[in-house]
Amino acid sequence: MKPDDPQALSKRAYEPEPRTVPSLGGRDPREARVRELVGRARAGDQTAFRELVTLHQDRAYGLALRIVRSKADAEEVAQDAFVRAWLGLARFRGESSFATWLHRIVARRALDRLRELKTLRGREAEVDEAAALPDPAGPGAPAAGLDEAMRARRLERMVLELPAAQRAAVTLYYYEGRSVEQAAAILGMPENTVKTHLSRARAALRAACLREGL
């Protein structure tokens, strides 16, 4: 994706960088390279920004997919997020990592997309991406491995059926490994609200597991 591709952007062209997002922990060996690329991109170097896109596009798409549950919408969300990041890059101050700043844009845009779909269709898109997930056990795996893979798929489907805000919180906390504080900063919610979403999600998943005998 080129940063100057035409997109149907909303009036809000970027998300402000959260000022209090904590470190993700540890030191990413790519961190120095990312800082260099961000500096060049802020100066207008589109080649540098395209490299940033390459480095971050898989995780951005994965986060979007877990929230919107549709491959096509996730691709649109990720592309839109990168365009917004390009347009708002001059306001990126480095007070958080570029990845955290970008993921906040992705999460906000994904939640916006769900609201748009609900308005247009009267309901959220009912796409079960879990059915398309590859079997991690692979061909010829023992029965125990297949049972474990089936349980993992069923749990994935349960997560995808959670309300959008709960799904986003679960994705960031459990799948992305973010802390409650980090998830709150990315989603633009109070920490107690994120904790409430996680608590309700856990309760819903426990009930679903009991119903399905997991």
Q: What is the pLDDT of residues 131-187, one digit of tens each?
A: 343 443 444 444 444 466 677 777 778 888 888 888 888 888 888 888 889 888 888
For residue 132, tell me if it sits in a domain: no
For residue 196, tell me if it sits in a domain: yes
Per-residue HEC secondary structure of the chain comes to: CCCCCCCCCCCCCCCCCCCCCCCCCCCCCCHHHHHHHHHHHHCCCHHHHHHHHHHHHHHHHHHHHHHHCCHHHHHHHHHHHHHHHHHHHHHCCCCCCHHHHHHHHHHHHHHHHHHHHHHHHCCCCCCCHHHHCCCCCCCCCCHHHHHHHHHHHHHHHHHHCCCHHHHHHHHHHHHCCCCHHHHHHHHCCCHHHHHHHHHHHHHHHHHHHHHHCC
Separation in Å, CA 127 to CA 123, 130, 132, 151? 12, 9, 10, 19
Output the pLDDT for position 18: 44
pTM recorded for the entire structure: 0.59
Q: Are residues 167 and 78 in the same domain?
A: no
Output the pLDDT for position 131: 38
Output the pLDDT for position 210: 79
For residue 99, tell me if it sits in a domain: yes
Output the pLDDT for position 138: 44
Q: Are residues 116 and 14 in the same domain?
A: yes
Residue 103 in contact with residue 63, Cβ under 8 Å? yes
Residues of the domain holding 201: 139-214
Q: Are residues 25 and 80 in the same domain?
A: yes
How many domains would you assign to the chain? Answer: 2
Output the pLDDT for position 49: 94
Output the pLDDT for position 96: 83
Q: Are residues 159 and 60 in the same domain?
A: no
Q: Are residues 111 and 146 in the same domain?
A: no
List the chain residues with pLDDT less than 70. 1-29, 119-149, 213-214
